[in-house]
């Protein structure tokens, strides 16, 4: 399994994408070299992804930091012992509380082993994570991309990626998750690099709109 563990692998992917579709050359140029976007794996990384869903990066990080300060050390058992006050003080939503508790339960009863995921196929990772109540495809994809660093993982349900693809490829409307999955087939085995490029491209065009608007 190829993983985006260092800049050399990222460089390899950036060179490969324009060979798959020449339009990538201009997209990469506009967005600039993307960061690796790697984050801590295991329980901490997965919890942070769950908390950040549908929030800005800053908001998600702030909520997670508040919670992590109260619930320490971060273990499944400690998560299950978290009080209502712990959750409220961090500003955690009820759906995310339920998901984090379901995750902690799955880890304590050993129906989920996060250590095994790093040696599993993307399909196996998806199946294992989405079996936990409240964890959907987006969370599984982001874990694959940022915690495991799978070079071909792709979060087609991510709205920023969908909007970036609309702009980058001149689409009339934002593609659905399934439409983006179909588009991304042409970018294998570098879909993880394609996603990072699109995120950087999206930031660049939003910044440009902010300057000119």
Share of the chain above pLDDT 70, in %: 98
Any idea which of 49-63, 78-92, 104-118, 143-157 has the lowest mean pLDDT? 49-63
| Tens-digit pLDDT profile for residues 70-100 | 888 999 999 999 988 888 888 889 999 999 9
- Of 120, 148, 176, the residue at which a domain comes to its end is 148
Average pLDDT, the chain: 92
Residues 143 and 47 in one domain: yes
Domain range holding 108?
Answer: 42-148
The structural domain count of the chain equals 2
Residues 101 and 196 in one domain: no
* pLDDT above 60 (res 122): yes
| Tens-digit pLDDT profile for residues 28-45 | 999 999 999 888 889 999
Residue whose C-alpha is closest to residue 43's, from 144, 109, 92, 113: 113
pTM: 0.89
* pLDDT above 80 (res 209): no
- Of 103, 131, 148, the residue at which a domain comes to its end is 148
Residues 134 and 161 in one domain: no
* pLDDT above 90 (res 178): yes
- Predicted confidence at residue 212, as pLDDT, reads 45
Report yes or no: 59 and 14 within 8 Å, Cβ to Cβ.
no
- Predicted confidence at residue 213, as pLDDT, reads 41
Residues 164 and 118 in one domain: no
């Amino acid at each position: 399994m190829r993983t985006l563990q260092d800049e050399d692998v990222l460089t390899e992917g950036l060179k490969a994408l324009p060979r798959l579709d020449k339009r990538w050359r201009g997209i990469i140029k506009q967005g600039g070299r993307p960061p690796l976007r790697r984050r801590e794996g295991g329980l901490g990384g997965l919890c942070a992804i769950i908390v950040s869903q549908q929030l800005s990066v800053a908001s998600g990080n702030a909520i997670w930091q508040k919670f992590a300060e109260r619930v320490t050390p971060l273990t499944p058992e400690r998560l299950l012992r978290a009080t209502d006050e712990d959750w409220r003080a961090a500003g955690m939503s009820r759906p995310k509380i339920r998901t984090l508790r379901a995750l902690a339960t799955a880890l304590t009863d050993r129906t989920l082993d996060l250590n095994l995921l790093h040696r599993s196929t993307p399909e196996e990772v998806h199946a294992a994570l989405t079996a936990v109540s409240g964890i959907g495809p987006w969370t599984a994809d982001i874990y694959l991309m940022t915690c495991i660093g799978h070079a071909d993982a792709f979060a087609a349900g991510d709205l920023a990626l969908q909007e970036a693809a609309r702009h980058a490829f001149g689409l009339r409307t934002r593609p659905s998750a399934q439409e983006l999955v179909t588009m991304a087939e042409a970018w294998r085995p570098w879909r993880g690099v394609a996603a990072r490029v699109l995120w950087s491209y999206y930031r660049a065009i939003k910044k440009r709109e902010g300057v000119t608007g």
